[in-house]
Structure formats: C-alpha cells, structure tokens
Amino acid sequence: MKINTIASKLILHVEKENINKKNRLLGINPGATYGSSKRWYPKKFADVASSLSSQYDIIIFGGPGEREIAKDIEQYLIKNGISNYQNLAAQITIKELVSKIASLDLFITGDSGPMHLAAACQIPTVAIFGPTIDGETSQWMNNKSSIVKKTLECQPCMKRVCPLKHHNCMKLVDPSDVLKAVKSLN
C-alpha cells in the first residue's frame, strides 16, 4: 500500500524563556555524541563567538560528556576578554535545553541532536559538518539554516574517529567560513 503524504516541518510545543536581554542570543553547541570526528575545535568556536560577542550574548551548551570542551571554549573567551557568556554545559535539563534553544536568535553547532531541536524551533542555524552526510542528517525543513563543510576525497567517512588520523574535514573549516555563513542568514 502506498501512502501519499507530504513531509512537514518538525514542531515542538515549547515556551520560549522570558529573557530580559539587551543583545540577541547566540547559542554554541560544540558537542557531538556520535564521536570525536564530528567535533569542531573549541578555539575555533571561541573565535567565532568572540567575533559575534558585540552583537550577541553567548550561551555555551553541552551534555555531561562535553564539559571539558565547553570549559575550553570558556577559557578562550576569557582570554579574548569576552564576559557576556554563560556556560550551561551539563547544567540544564532537556526541557530547559529546548526552551533555551527556542529563545535563541542564532545557533552554531555541529551535527547533533540540539541542531535538530533548533530546526524544529526554526532558529537560524549554522551547522558544521565533517564526516557525516549533510544531505541525510542536516536540519529538517529549516529555511534559516546554512551548512559549513569542506569537500574532501575522504568525506563522508561516517566514522566516529578519523581513520586517516588528520581530521581535515573539521580542521580545515575556518572561523571565517562560519562567519560568512552567519552573514548569509541575515
């Protein structure tokens, strides 16, 4: 039996946080549960966040396994003189995560679960892809999203750890690539 249905957007019924803010909100999500090959580098996330810190207040997200990466980003932000951030890695519930993501003005993330939450909330998102197939796992029906990736012979390998030991699919993504994608969303 063939079912004729049209796919629709994901919908989450969530209340946005009532945030009294002077700047817009940028969320950064450096984690990826699948494996280290999907993770972009803390310094590069911090460089992007630092570049946007005059326009956005920053929230660092992450689960319990991403505390260290989030702490590294925080240390780079401090080193860059950035103080308008919150590090919420491993400090909030899933319900709070959804509410906070729904309140964002911009989200920068790797290929991750929170990326899909942002899609369901139609949050402008820049997603950084390395070893996975962006056509299969990118945001679902979010017209406000942009994918940043390199096109290398070894991509997509779909491996949890870079089998070639160079991690170029993520290493070669520059903060300027991400900032260019942010501008394309405006």
Q: Is residue 114 part of a domain?
A: yes
Let me know if residue 13 belongs to a domain. no
Position 19 in a domain: no
What pLDDT, on a 0 to 100 scale, did the predictor assign at position 17?
Answer: 66
pLDDT at 133 (0 to 100): 73
Is residue 69 included in any domain, yes or no? yes
- Tokens at 26, concatenated: 């940028």
pLDDT value for 8: 67
* 92 in any annotated domain: yes
Task: Summarize pLDDT for 5-30 with one digit per residue, the tens.
Answer: 766 666 666 776 666 667 899 999 99
Domain holding 115: CATH number?
3.40.50.2000
70 part of a folded domain: yes
Has residue 12 been placed in a domain? no
Where does the chain show beta strands of DSSP type E? Answer: 24-29, 56-60, 85-87, 106-110, 125-128, 145-148
Token digits for 121? 């909330």
Comparing CA positions, the residue from 175, 176, 172 lying closest to residue 44 is 175
Tell me the helix, strand and coil percentages in the chain, rounded to 5. Answer: 35, 15, 50
Structurally, the chain folds into a number of domains equal to 1
Examine residue 4 and state whether it is found in any structural domain, yes or no: no
Amino acid occupying residue 27: G
**Residues 117/90, Cβ–Cβ less than 8 Å:** no
What gap in Å lies between CA 161 and CA 184, rounded to an integer? 31
Residue ranges for the chain with pLDDT beneath 70:
1, 6-13, 16-21, 34-35
For residue 140, what pLDDT is reported? 76
Task: For residue 95, give its domain range.
Answer: 24-185
